[in-house]
Amino acid sequence: MKLRILLLACVIASPASAAVTKLTLEKSSPMAGGYELLEGHFSGALDPANAHNAVINDIKLAPRNAAGKVEYSATFAIARPTGALSGVLVYDVSNRGRGAAAAIGGGHINVLSGWQGDLDDRPGVFQRIDLPAAPVNGPAYVRFMDVPAGTTTMPVKGGPQGNYGGRTFEVATADGAKLYTGVSDDRPREQKEVPHSDWAFADCRSTPFPGKPDLTKLCVKGGFDPKLAYTLAFMAKNPKLFAIGLAATRDLVAFLRYDASSANPLAGKVHWTIGRGVSQSGNYLRSFIHLGFNAGEDGRIVFDGLNPIVGPRMLSINYRFATPGGLTWLYETGTEGPNWWSTYDDVARGQGKHSLLDRCLKDRTCPKIAEIMGSTEFWDLRASHDYVGTDARADIPLPANVRRYYNAGAPHNGGRGGFDHLTPATQACVLSSNPNPASDTNRAVFAALGDWVTKGTDPPPSIYPTLASGGLITPAVYDKAFPKIAGVPRPAYSPTYQYDLGKSFDDVDLTGAITMVPPRILKEIPQLVPRADADGNELDGIRSPLITAPLGTYVGWNVFADGFQTGRFCNNIGGYIPFAATKVERLAKGDPRPSLEERYSSHAAYVAKVKAQADSLVTKRYMLAEDAARIIRDADAAKAP
């Protein structure tokens, strides 16, 4: 009976917030840990004339309701404590629709909601958003790589990248479309146009080429060649307004924080708000701040604190035919514009002086920010520009409201941890995946951010490699110094290109429309990477007990073993190169790195080294005491060294 009354109240109550027009609670269920889970939908209506909405690309072209507002609808999930509340709402940005609200403890409320509008309908996607589309046509492009031999037909939404959200592009017309092939992404300027007689918008799976006409499919005469990458440029239609997803997050969090009506299940319970996002979701938070969404439609602050984790770029979300589910392949956007927190003059690209905080400084809505990165963010995700800009000549200082924590030698959001000497081989990459963990840092930093937001307690000092200290070097210098180990590939990184995306594209804000398809490469932008010791292990930042008492070399890079990208940077799992067990073994293998028996006199000596580093990290507040105790137990129980 109680649930039925609550459902009715949530549906018929009129929220005080102008942006959220309705919140409907559809399911309530108990959770372990003294929490209850609330799930449902919320709807919003945006005023295109409001200054805080005007940045949304194409909002003036979007369909409007009778009141002249642009509508959307999204899912939400709230994990609410049944006991005492801390007053803190933690909004976890869903990564490609994945993730569920959790009992995060401490009396904190946990909230997730839909924001990404290009998700395929597949299992595991829990958070969704329904967005309007603009009735307009424009250029678009998609790529296809590693298409299996014998494949004649692919969906126009794209190849492997489509698994991360894909492309919602609808082909407007076949007129003017072009198909290009390339033999290597290391030589992107060598692409060749495929004659129109050798491909078609068609389905050739059951009908020989030129197949059955179909604007949703691409058919290649004789089938796709796995040794080639294909880029299709065409005229698309009806782009969704993906940046409304940013407004949806803003509106929901502001509603749950400020709305005092009976429609709000958290009315009066939220005093502080913290946004947290990992990888794509960390990029989302950077765009959220940069585009001014930390101010609600009424100008009030949305998030008091932000915790972007391994998200060093902005999200491709606010231009016509954007790709918020994109990655870092050739022609993917996200590194354009400022990716730095303090004002920096981007002379190298001719963009002038900007920072991610320009809008929130103007609105006086800048939050406290604690960002976390690791090695892979340099090797694949272009973090170098966050640290030293696009000329790589000097460190960009951090403003007073930002702290930066760098996990030395950690892969993308860290490895699985533990103290196994040997780890399983990976399927696509040459090296085993890097087990060096980051989760311990994540927990300690988040706890410190919470105290910073709610109590004003200063967090631990920023710790990361800098150019001034010699902690950042060129990839060429790194490669020269990296140990030469028989059977181990040389380091590989993803280059940064400055693209010509057309005169209608705003590089600073990543807004407007891309009219140069595929994009034209203007030049490569220099990047730096963290230095390493003689073993190849990084020296600067937060050094986990595992990398301080290493069982091998832990790197942020790896290389593809085969396929179109053979020898190029592979995934974001990093790499691990175990030490030989004995001196005899390493000499036989041609390994210059000292073996385990040469490094550690006994297992007890090894555990003592692990304990010393864990205790040091706790003292410096880069690790929680309970995590240190667990790590020491794990090291003691391990079989190696």
Q: What is the 3-state secondary structure (H, E, C) of 451-465?
A: HHHHHCCCCCCCECC
pLDDT of 163 over the 60 cut? no
Non-local CB neighbours of 102 within 8 Å, separated by 6+ positions: 79, 92, 110
**Start-to-end CA span in the chain (Å):** 61
User: Hey, which residues does 25 pair with through a beta bridge?
Assistant: 40
Q: Which of 125-129, 154-158, 434-438, 631-635 has the lowest mean pLDDT?
A: 154-158
- Residue-level length of the chain: 641
What confidence score (pLDDT) does residue 9 get? 36
Q: Output the six-digit token pair for 396.
A: 């960009």
Q: What pLDDT band is residue 425 in, cutting at 50, 70 and 90?
A: confident
Q: Under DSSP, is residue 74 helix (H, G, I), strand (E, B) or coil?
A: strand
At 320, give phi and psi (nearest 5°).
Answer: -65, 130
pLDDT tens track for 164-217: 555 678 999 999 999 999 998 888 888 999 999 999 999 999 999 999 999 999
**What is the distance between the alpha carbons of residues 140 and 323, in angstroms, rounded to a whole number?**
10
At 280, give phi and psi (nearest 5°).
Answer: -50, -40
pLDDT tens track for 564-606: 999 999 999 999 999 999 999 999 999 999 999 999 999 999 9
Alpha-carbon Rg for the chain in angstroms: 25
Handedness of CA 524, 529, 533, 536 (dihedral sign): negative
Domains of the chain (ranges; CATH) run 1-77+108-132+241-267 (no CATH), 137-237 (2.60.40)
**What is the distance between the alpha carbons of residues 613 and 548, in angstroms, rounded to a whole number?**
7
| Alpha helices (H) in 428-533, listed in sequence order | 439-455, 475-481
High-pLDDT (> 90) share of the chain, %: 90
**What is the distance between the alpha carbons of residues 417 and 192, in angstroms, rounded to a whole number?**
45
pLDDT tens track for 254-313: 999 999 999 999 999 999 999 999 999 999 999 999 999 999 999 999 999 999 999 999
Non-local CB neighbours of 438 within 8 Å, separated by 6+ positions: 310, 372, 374, 407, 410, 413, 414, 415, 544
Tell me the pLDDT of the chain averaged across its residues: 94
Q: Output the six-digit token pair for 210.
A: 């030129």
pTM: 0.95
At residue 73, what is the residue type?
S
Determine the average pLDDT of the residues in 224-242.
96
Determine the average pLDDT of the residues in 353-382.
98
pLDDT of 12 over the 60 cut? no
Question: For 367, how many CA atoms within 13 A lie in the half-sphere containing its CB?
Answer: 30
**What is the distance between the alpha carbons of residues 576 and 52, in angstroms, rounded to a whole number?**
46
What confidence score (pLDDT) does residue 123 get? 79
- 633 to 202, 356, 440, 524, 607: CA distances (angstroms): 60, 42, 15, 47, 9
Q: What pLDDT band is residue 2 in, cutting at 50, 70 and 90?
A: very low
pLDDT tens track for 602-632: 999 999 999 999 999 999 999 999 999 999 9
Q: Where are the beta strands (DSSP E) in 255-335?
A: 272-278, 305-309, 319-320
What confidence score (pLDDT) does residue 426 get? 87
What confidence score (pLDDT) does residue 598 get? 98
pLDDT of 5 over the 70 cut? no
**What is the distance between the alpha carbons of residues 571 and 411, in angstroms, rounded to a whole number?**
10
Q: What pLDDT band is residue 100 in, cutting at 50, 70 and 90?
A: very high
Tokens 């988040």 appear where?
A: 446
pLDDT tens track for 495-509: 999 999 999 999 999
| Residue closest to 528 by CA, chosen among 485, 464, 573, 576 | 464
Q: Output the six-digit token pair for 64.
A: 């409007």
Q: What pLDDT band is residue 3 in, cutting at 50, 70 and 90?
A: very low
Non-local CB neighbours of 14 within 8 Å, separated by 6+ positions: 261, 263
What confidence score (pLDDT) does residue 18 get? 63
pLDDT tens track for 577-586: 999 999 999 9
Strand bridging mode 529-530 / 472-473: antiparallel
pLDDT tens track for 515-539: 999 999 999 999 999 999 999 999 9
**What is the distance between the alpha carbons of residues 220 and 210, in angstroms, rounded to a whole number?**
8
What confidence score (pLDDT) does residue 124 get? 83
pLDDT of 365 over the 60 cut? yes
Q: What pLDDT band is residue 158 in, cutting at 50, 70 and 90?
A: low
Q: Which DSSP category does 133 fall into?
A: B
